[in-house]
Amino acid sequence: MEPYGGAAGPERIKTRRIKFHYPAGSLERHYVQGDLVMSHLVASLSAVFPEGEEFFVRSVRRFADQVVDPALKQQVGGFIGQEVTHGREHRELNDRLQQMGYPTHGVDRMVRRGMKLYEKVFTARFCLAITAALEHYTAVLAETILTDERAQEMLGHTEVRRMLLWHAYEESEHRSVAFDVMRLVGTSERTRVRAMRFITVGFVGGTFMRTALSLARDRSAYNPRRLAASIANLRRSPFFSPDVVARIKSYTRPGFHPDDHGNAELLQHWGAELFGSEGVLAGNLR
């Protein structure tokens, strides 16, 4: 294996001490710019993250003792620290969303059972391959937030926007760590692609199901005009653009690596934008 670092060379991954707050009344019922479906979709995704991140951490940690390269070892430590923090902060948001009527706690329990089933049925290597595939999904969606102004506008100007920008930045920052550990332990190309195809069915289908169940609990979803308009907006969403779909599909290309799509300038820009002395998140850092 070549020295770790990908196309752009090794970079240190920081575990940032950060905190977000969602006091009662600070969020509207449909907090994503008043959009019905997108509010439920974001809530459904947020509900998946705590247990999903814990699964990611366990999957990578099982192979951490095989990592001897100092740069990759640091990256693994940073990855674990970031993912633990993501889970903690999403639990805070999910508690607030539950109070607002979104079934985030039920989704959390459902995902916990699903992740435990994966670990019972599949090998540790296949769980790691699933983690690398899901990290590709989160990185592509994260970099869509960071590069597409339409996506940023959808987030409005609430604390949820700040939290999702932070999460997006760190997902982009550590996007190749699970992949490189997977490659280090000798996972075959066939297994890598098979894990991606497997998880695509579960991730896309599960997201659709969870969002539909969440909408079914919302009286506003029974207004046919509003629901139809929101679905039409979703179809025009930057998250479903041909470019995003193509990037997702690129994972199954022979010889793929996350660093094939450079993001050094993106991280440099948003690092200053978010964490600089006058950064968007200056007040959230501890």
pLDDT of amino acid 1: 35
Check if the beta carbon of residue 285 is closer than 8 Å to that of residue 278: no
Query: What's the pLDDT tens digit per position in 120-167?
Result: 999 999 999 999 999 999 999 999 999 999 999 988 889 999 999 999
Establish if 144 belongs to a structural domain: yes
Establish if 249 belongs to a structural domain: yes
Establish if 6 belongs to a structural domain: no
Query: What's the pLDDT tens digit per position in 52-92?
Result: 999 999 999 999 999 999 999 999 999 999 999 999 999 99
pTM of the model: 0.93
Tokens of 47: 């509900």
Q: What is the CATH number of the domain that holds 245?
A: 1.10.620
Query: What's the pLDDT tens digit per position in 248-263?
Result: 999 999 999 999 999 9
**H or E element in which residue 263 lies:** none
pLDDT of amino acid 192: 98
Establish if 19 belongs to a structural domain: no
Q: How far is CA 83 from CA 29, 55, 89, 157, in A?
A: 28, 10, 10, 24
Establish if 84 belongs to a structural domain: yes
Whether the per-residue pLDDT at 203 is higher than 70: the answer is yes
Establish if 40 belongs to a structural domain: yes
pLDDT band at 7 (very low <50, low <70, confident <90, very high): very low
Whether the per-residue pLDDT at 8 is higher than 90: the answer is no
Establish if 24 belongs to a structural domain: no
Residues of the domain holding 78: 36-257+269-275
Query: What's the pLDDT tens digit per position in 168-182?
Result: 999 999 999 999 999
- Amino acid identity of residue 203, one-letter, is F
User: How many domains are contained in the chain?
Assistant: 1
> Strands (DSSP E) along the chain, which ranges?
none
Tokens of 82: 């970031």
Establish if 14 belongs to a structural domain: no
pLDDT of amino acid 235: 85
Shortest CA distance to 164 belongs to which of 274, 241, 36?
274
pLDDT band at 12 (very low <50, low <70, confident <90, very high): confident
Instruction: Report residue 215 CA to chain centroid gap.
Output: 21
pLDDT of amino acid 4: 38
**What b/e string do you get for 188-214 counting C-beta neighbours within 10 Å, with b at 16 or more?**
eeebbbbbbebbbeebeebeeebbeeb
pLDDT of amino acid 118: 97
pLDDT band at 230 (very low <50, low <70, confident <90, very high): very high
Spatial separation of the C-alpha atoms in residues 149 and 225, rounded to whole Å: 27
